[in-house]
Amino acid sequence: MNYRAIASLFLLLPLLFGNASATTGAQVNPDAQTGVTSGVYNYDENGPRSKPEGATPWTDFSMHGTAWVRETPGAFLRWKIMGWGIEAKAKAAGYQWVHIPMPFTTYLEDVAQKVNHVEFCAQSTNGAATKPVTLHARTSAALVGNVAVTWAANNNRQCAWINWSPGVWREDIGISVQLYFANTTDQITLYKAWLRTER
């Protein structure tokens, strides 16, 4: 039996039948959506962050809201950096993407740190119509989280999140949010982003 020929055939199969991740751009990593939960909650600066009894120890990392960047800068009527984040208005009704990197420790004293949570916080002047609609978590190699954001129809500061259970080691990660602007007068304020790792 020619093992080299068999091995070559396995290498060519993705080319012969199409490799989804190589042909469609925004594919979700197969391990990304396993054990994924998501949701939205009203922001509370003093909310409890204590470790539940028996939980794996974790570490939180926060990125200030002034770090957000626009995918299409020319599409924004207002992009004002404030001490608490960024105030944004669009030049026209429609969808816009914004992105924020999440620096974190991948190894701590030779122990791999696994990402199990990402979130971002924002506030809309018209949460019923102008709001975040999609949350992505992306490494440099793949889309590892893709959830619809169920934004409450109010003007409160809210936070949307993705959890992975169990946590997965990542070499890097960033958060991307698709915003929907119903008009040119509504404003979305982008606040902090958050990431949690566990051992």
Q: What is the DSSP string of 100-131?
A: EE----SEETTEEPEEEEEEEEEEETTTTTSE
How far is Cα 99 from Cα 102, in angstroms, rounded to an integer? 10
Give this prediction's pTM: 0.78
Q: What is the pLDDT of residue 186?
A: 98
Q: pLDDT, tens digit, for every residue of 80-95? A: 999 999 999 999 999 9
Spell out the domains of the chain, with CATH numbers in brackets.
Answer: 29-44+56-198 (2.60.120.260)
Residue 22 φ/ψ, nearest 5 degrees: -90, -15
Q: pLDDT, tens digit, for every residue of 119-153? A: 999 999 999 999 999 999 999 999 999 999 999 99
Residue 167 φ/ψ, nearest 5 degrees: -65, 155
Q: pLDDT, tens digit, for every residue of 151-195? A: 999 999 999 999 998 999 999 999 999 999 999 999 999 999 999
pLDDT at residue 2 greater than cutoff 70: no
Q: pLDDT, tens digit, for every residue of 7-64? A: 443 333 333 333 333 323 344 444 445 567 776 777 666 555 555 566 778 889 999 9
Mean pLDDT over each residue of the chain, to the nearest integer: 83
Q: What is the pLDDT of residue 50?
A: 55
